[in-house]
């Protein structure tokens, strides 16, 4: 076989056995050493597969029929699972999803981090359905009718949905009501190709403990026809609604929110609690979408921090102060830093809301603010990081190594960048003690981890 040739070409039909799952949940099979990624394949199964695309080192296929079915195969309860891009693994039993996520973390620790460390079983949910407290879905038109739902996998086609089995039912109600209102008053959906239309996205937020509901209408322009009637209909038809908000996004972009937000009716915030901490949630503030598992995640971070009440803690990437306020319950002092000004305003408000006076928050890049704190004589005993998917900024890791805290607690939403960063910290004098994965997003391929490191 020459360098250009592959053992299969487009439209070939081949019989394969799936040996593994890829990081995005596709079955992985080999044909004469050539890798094929096939959605909905499960390790241990054999299937007839049609090759749909080939590249130099790997290709993609789709299942025609499964010849030998795995015991781990599940009938997805969602009628649009195979069209919608919201979930990736409903076709796999929940226990098997958790094992797959544990294996995913183990694999990257060995391959990227070159670290041999205990990876605990994933902490899953007793009932892994109806857990998401926020829905944000694009709105479109099909056959002259308003549709709203997630995009089809690898496309910008909206799959209309009446309900989503991983969303709180209150959010389904919001989408149903807003679609009906748009039809009733002739509000046109935004079309991203022509850049015409009014309603771009509907965002629903729900406080699980408080039962508060916020409805956010993202529109292309400020003018919202029939505004009074829309407000009246939403307040009549959505139980628990406390806030109706309009966000204006006039740009040609896939980004959901624009810069201008205004409250049309009700309060600026809704509220929810995680453990003993109460949080104010605005239209644009970040709040964890699975509060039950967030409590599990933060309890684990608190356990690894091992606070006695005498420690100074730095929380880099503190967001709206969720972890900071959890830590402040047990620490002497917590310093939080975050680059988003609105998030820091929310963090300060949340500290005040809970009567927490031993947490301070500052806006800026962690790698700039923290060295400034060091010059002021702030010496952390524990360093907590919860970075975005891209992982920690390299200069922040250098700052941690310079400040030499006794412990580092790393909360991660991306095992690959976690493994990369752990390698840097290990090389700089830290030992990774253990990794605890937590399933924040059942029926998807995402996995969160809490990692505990100590200075050697």
The residues carrying an active-site annotation are: 413
Torsion, Cα 389 390 392 394, to 10 degrees, reads 180
**Is 140 within 8 Å of 147 (Cβ atoms)?**
yes
- Phi and psi (nearest 5°) for 68? -135, 115
- Rounded distance between C-alpha atoms, residue 110 and residue 102, angstroms: 13
CA distances from 266 to 79, 263, 278, 440 (A): 36, 7, 19, 31
Nearest to 244 by CA among 225, 226, 220, 218: 218
- Rounded distance between C-alpha atoms, residue 65 and residue 291, angstroms: 39
Q: How far is CA 203 from the centre of its chain?
A: 15
Q: Which residue has tokens 């009716």?
A: 265
Strand 407-412 versus strand 277-281 pairing type? unpaired
- Rounded distance between C-alpha atoms, residue 297 and residue 292, angstroms: 9
């Amino acid at each position: 076989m020459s360098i250009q040739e592959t053992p299969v070409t487009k439209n070939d039909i081949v019989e394969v056995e799936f040996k593994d799952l890829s990081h995005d949940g596709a079955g992985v099979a080999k044909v004469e050493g050539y890798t094929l990624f096939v959605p909905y394949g499960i390790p241990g199964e054999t299937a007839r597969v049609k090759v749909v695309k080939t590249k130099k080192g790997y290709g993609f296929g789709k299942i025609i029929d499964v010849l030998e079915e795995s015991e781990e195969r599940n009938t997805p309860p969602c009628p649009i699972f195979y069209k919608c891009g919201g979930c990736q693994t409903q076709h796999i039993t929940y226990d098997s999803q958790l094992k797959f996520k544990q294996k995913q973390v183990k694999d990257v620790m060995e391959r990227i981090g070159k670290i041999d460390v205990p990876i605990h079983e994933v902490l899953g949910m007793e009932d892994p359905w109806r857990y998401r407290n926020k829905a944000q879905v694009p709105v479109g038109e099909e056959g002259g009718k308003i549709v709203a739902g997630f995009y089809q996998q690898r496309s910008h086609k909206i799959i209309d949905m009446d309900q989503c089995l991983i969303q709180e039912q209150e959010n389904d109600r919001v989408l149903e009501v807003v679609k009906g209102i748009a039809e009733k008053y002739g509000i046109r959906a935004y079309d991203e190709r022509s850049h015409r239309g009014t309603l771009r996205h509907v965002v629903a937020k729900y406080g699980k403990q408080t039962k508060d509901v916020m409805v956010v209408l993202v529109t292309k322009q400020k003018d919202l026809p029939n505004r009074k009637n829309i407000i009246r209909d939403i307040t009549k038809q959505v139980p628990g609604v406390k806030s109706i908000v309009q966000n204006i996004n006039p740009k040609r972009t896939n980004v959901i929110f624009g810069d201008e937000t205004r409250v049309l009716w009700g309060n600026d915030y809704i509220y929810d609690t995680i453990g003993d901490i109460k949080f104010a949630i605005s239209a644009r503030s970040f709040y964890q979408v699975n509060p039950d598992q967030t409590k599990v995640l933060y309890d684990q971070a608190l356990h690894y921090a091992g606070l006695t009440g005498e420690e100074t803690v730095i929380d880099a990437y503190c967001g709206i102060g969720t972890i900071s306020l959890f830590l402040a319950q047990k620490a002497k002092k917590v310093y939080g830093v975050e680059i988003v000004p609105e998030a820091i305003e929310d963090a300060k408000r949340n500290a005040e809301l809970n009567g927490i006076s031993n947490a301070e928050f500052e806006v800026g890049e962690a790698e700039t603010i923290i060295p400034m704190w060091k010059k002021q004589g702030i010496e952390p005993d524990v360093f907590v990081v919860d970075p975005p998917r891209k992982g920690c900024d390299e200069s922040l890791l250098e700052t941690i190594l310079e400040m030499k805290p006794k412990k580092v607690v790393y909360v991660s939403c991306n095992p690959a960048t976690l493994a990369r960063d752990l390698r840097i910290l290990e090389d700089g004098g830290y030992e990774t003690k253990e990794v605890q994965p937590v399933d924040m997003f059942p029926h998807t391929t995402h996995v969160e981890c809490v990692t505990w490191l100590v200075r050697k």
